[in-house]
A and B are shown apart, each in its own frame.
Chain A
Amino acid sequence: MKQEEQCCQQRVGKSYYEVIFLNTNNLILIVGDDGVIVEANPKAYKVFQEQKLVGRFFGELLDLDSNILQIIKERYPFDQQHEIDVRIGNESLIFKMNVSPLLGDSNLTAGVIAILNDLTPEVDNRVLIESEMMCHVQEKAHLDKMLEMIFLSVGEGILLVDEDREIVRANSQASEIFGILEQKLCGEELEYLTDGEGMQILNGLFNSLVEGEKQQAEITGHYSNGHQFPIAVTVTRVDFRKRKFWPIIVRDITEQKEYEIKLQYEMKRSEEMNVTLSNVLKSIEKDRREREQQVKNKVKQSLLPSLQKMTKTNDLEIRSTYRELIAQQLIELTSGFESRLDAGLLKLTGTEIAICRVIQAGRSGKEICELMNLAFETLQTHRKNIRKKLGLRGRKVNLQAYLAGKNCDV
């Protein structure tokens, strides 16, 4: 029974066909290309009085006069009914036997499936059974092929690990990630591919996952030359014939990690930039107010009194002195910066100046809109006006380039 279970292990999943295989009253023997039985159903075991069947020669078991499958095939052509006489113990039984080619499964390509039935049963459902068994075999071959294709062709590494933490299958991507040929990777202990901590994490996942569940983790991978690198693993669990297996999808995330670090750095930098920019905007506003205040003060303290005095007197000489004084005071109103100012820039409004500063700092239109809370159309109008005032209209001069050397501290 143990051996029977073992050979059945190769089958994927439990299907309708399997139920038939297990419960039919027909004897079903699946025979490998070497003429040796690789699978037999419970009924066959029963009829053969629980003798071992798997591993025995098909020909010998049924007294077919040859163990060579080729010869048996010639003698008992496919898809015909053959009557055979089999001695079991002291008894001689007569069976109807039907032999069909076994398709699909690569190591059984040339094998056959034999369905025998006792000539006594009331209902002859051989045809039914046979066609369904063929479907089973084909379905399985198909499924195997599909799984195989998926396994081989996905872009990520896949490792299939069993309860002993042994790698029982690996695809070429996994082989490339760890620098170990598939032939070597299969049969290798999983612990070779990671460090103690990684193994602990994996063991944790293995122990906690229920069938069909999925978990991810990032651990350290080991290349065959000792190089260590970050890997992302997605672990699932499948149960198969009372044994657990864990398919692990592996991705080398060295590049992703490097990219993440770079991205973090970039984000930090741009955050800093934003802070600086809003500070700039704030200081512009503050400057503006201070200057206004200064001008107000000057106008109040010197300009207005001078004007009053000038209007009060009729003395031409005094008037002219005051006129000069006022002119002087007017110049002083802007003193301290006017010398360095671009004549054109002086024509700009406060908003326009602010925009110039942000343009100078290299911000994009979209960023300016966000920072200054402007609609894009509004910004475009401002830009147009700025260009006009600076005499750039119609000239092929980029505003940022023009402003580059200028003092915008108006």
Chain B
Amino acid sequence: MWDLEYDVVVVGSGFAGLATALEAHEGGATVIVLEKMHAPGGNSSISGGLVAAAASPLQEELGIVDSPELLAKDMFKAGQDMNHHDLVKIVAEQSTDALRWTIEKLGVEYKPCLNILGGHSVARTYNTANASGSGIIRPMLQACRKNNIQIRMKAMLSEIVRKPNGRVEGVVIKDGYLFPSGKSGTPLRIRARRGVVLATGGYSRDIAFRTIQNPILNEKIESTNQPGATAEGLVAALKIGATPIQLAHIQLGPWASSDEAGFGVGSMFSMLAGFPYGILVDARTGKRFVNELSDRRLRVDAMLKKKRFSIAITDSSGVRFASTLNKCLKRGVVRQYETIEQLAIENNIKLDNLLVTIERYNRSVSLGHDMDFGKPLQKDLQAIETPPFYAIRLTPKVHHCMGGVQIDREGRVLDIETHEPIPGLFAAGEVTGGIHGASRLGSVAITDCLVFGRIAGRNAANEPF
């Protein structure tokens, strides 16, 4: 009946899957991680490594007042209150715990400063020393190796086996799978004595699936995700009666460059410099049109409206924290100019308007509040006036799926008919839904994946069989 047998079978090798595996192992379970791609890490490994934590050690050091309640409030605001409150509470309350776990247990290194991202009311975002999610994924993979937790590559989940008694008992995979060939791989049945944990991430690159959920997001719109961000894992769960939730809520990132593919190096530039320490203008008018630190959805909507040509502009003081600047310049994603005039000409922006815009913004900076769009101005913010100046051309790209399967506070997947947990099935990370509502705040995804990955891992290891 079964080819292999483990206590806990984890599907997906991103933050959520690896956090699950490490905790389940710690809980005494035998564990295997299944990954359909030829390399581990998923979107997690290409992510920006920005991690939100409320009431964190760095905040205390820097005198920033924050609390889990405030983080939850920010999440509700961005999510238009479509978030499931009990789940949000857990993420917010355990955010600093999860961060500490990465530092103390895994040895992850972070930069000694905090960032403020759009939609957050205070600076609470840590960034890994290498400004990438790989700064967390690598230590996680090392820990798996040390603990002999096997990660089986090219192993694609094709079916979750649920028995007539309602319990999930294992999975069927395509072993030796070659993404994206549907025909590749041979079936292998793996029993999960205690539990299956679904951590297969989002479906931003699944054009068929995402256009069904939201027809606007057709193949013409690029994505920041890795090619394996497709929906098969989610679909397998839906097939055995998992509850889908808010699948049409798919987020676009407002910070991606139109001069490179995917997330690239430009996105981090906009996030760490262009938006917090610069302005976003429409090249055709030379004017600002949105609060650069508003939630992503508001920014993207504003960018897509009227087919704007969005350009973020900052100066030499604004790029202090732009860790990817050199790579951006090298690839021509960000361009550097000695004067605003030059910047305007080369980007085809009406110079007079741009000068007025910058002057007005600089006045806002000196006043300490944004007269036009209510952007929260940081204490260390300076006027845009010190050459060289920098510009990045932006276009929204499909980035994150807020929807997924519904889970309870213990990370159990809920049955669509009974609304009760499906015995033996857990989920964590981007494959779950309901935590972020209509829009996810930047840097909260990693926190969410770590918090619920750990919960699912602990609970799966303790599931009776």
Task: Enumerate chain A interface residues (CB-CB to B < 8 A).
Answer: 3, 6, 34, 36, 51-52, 55-57, 60, 67, 164, 166, 172, 175-176, 178-181, 183-184, 187, 224-227
Contacts and interface: CB of A to CB of B under 8 A. Distances in A.
B46 A225 contact: no
15 contacts: A6-B332, A36-B348, A52-B345, A56-B348, A164-B330, A179-B41, A180-B39, A180-B134, A183-B46, A183-B226, A183-B262, A184-B46, A224-B134, A224-B137, A225-B144
A175 B138 CA distance: 15
Given A179-B141, A225-B141, A60 B348 contact: yes
B37 to A, nearest CB: 7
Interface string B2-42: 00000000000000000000000000000000000111111
Contact of B145 (A57, A175, A178, A227): A227
Interface in B361-385: none
Contacts of A56: 346, 348
A56 B42 CA distance: 37
Contact of B45 (A36, A181, A227): A181
B419 interface: no
Given A224-B137, A224-B138, A181 B39 contact: yes
B46 A181 contact: yes
Top 6 A-B pairs, shortest CB-CB distance: A225-B141, A176-B38, A225-B145, A226-B142, A183-B46, A184-B46
A36 to B, nearest CB: 8
Contact of B347 (A51, A55, A67, A227): A55
B49 to A, nearest CB: 11
Nearest to B391: A55
A36 B347 CA distance: 10
Contacts, number: 70
B327 A179 contact: no
A172 B228 CA distance: 13
B41 A181 contact: yes
Contacts of A60: 348
Give the size range of B's interface with the partner.
Answer: 20 to 34
B357 interface: no
Contacts of B134: 180, 184, 224
Contacts of B38: 172, 175-176
B152 to A, nearest CB: 13
Interface in B340-356: 345-348
Given A6-B332, A179-B141, A224 B40 contact: yes
Contacts of A187: 265, 327
Contact of A184 (B45, B258, B284): B45
Contacts of B158: none
Given A184-B45, A187-B265, A55 B346 contact: yes
Interface of B: 37-42, 45-46, 132, 134, 137-138, 141-142, 144-145, 151, 153, 226, 258, 262-263, 265, 284, 327, 330, 332, 345-348
Given A36-B348, A55-B348, A183-B226, 14 more contacts: A51-B345, A56-B348, A178-B39, A179-B141, A181-B39, A181-B42, A183-B46, A184-B45, A184-B132, A184-B134, A224-B138, A225-B141, A225-B144, A226-B138
Nearest to B154: A176
Nearest to B145: A225
A224 B39 contact: yes
Given A175-B39, A184-B132, A226 B332 contact: no
Contacts of A226: 138, 141-142, 145
A171 B346 CA distance: 35
B64 to A, nearest CB: 31
A176 B41 CA distance: 12
Contacts of A181: 37, 39, 41-42, 45-46, 226
A224 B134 CA distance: 9
Contacts of A176: 38-39, 153
A227 B137 CA distance: 14
Contacts of B151: 225
Contacts of A34: 258
A34 B258 CA distance: 10
Nearest to B134: A184
A180 B132 CA distance: 13
Contacts of B46: 181, 183-184
Contacts of A55: 346-348
Nearest to A188: B134
B267 to A, nearest CB: 12
B45 A180 contact: yes
B346 A52 contact: yes
Contacts of A172: 38
Nearest to A37: B348
